[in-house]
Amino acid sequence: MKHASLPTLPKHVIGFNEAIANVKEKIVDNHMLVVVGMGGIGKTTLVKELYHQIHVDFKKSSFLENVKESDIVEVF
């Protein structure tokens, strides 16, 4: 199945293996992942890397980037 273009990643992503493994364990039974936290701690980079690793395991997938709190209601 052809997928839309993937979100771009920084060239050198270091230190996310353990964090990605932890997130993968938590999303096994869920259909959606929401990541929140203060700015600048690597949320977007973590989720982009995770998406790169697991998007092929699903029939359909999407990556919503730069979604503000007020915009997320319109998605659903």
The secondary structure of 23-49 as a DSSP string is HHHHTTT-S-------TTSSHHHHHHH
What does the pLDDT read at residue 52?
A: 84
Determine the distance from the C-alpha atom of residue 74 to the mean position of all C-alpha atoms in its chain, rounded to a whole number: 19
pLDDT in tens, 40-61: 888 888 888 888 888 888 888 8
Q: Does residue 3 register a pLDDT over 60?
A: no
> Which range is most confident: 1-5, 47-51, 68-72?
47-51
- Residue extents of the structural domains in the chain: 1-61
Q: 10 Å Cβ neighbour count for 27?
A: 12
8 A C-beta contact, residue 60 and residue 8: no
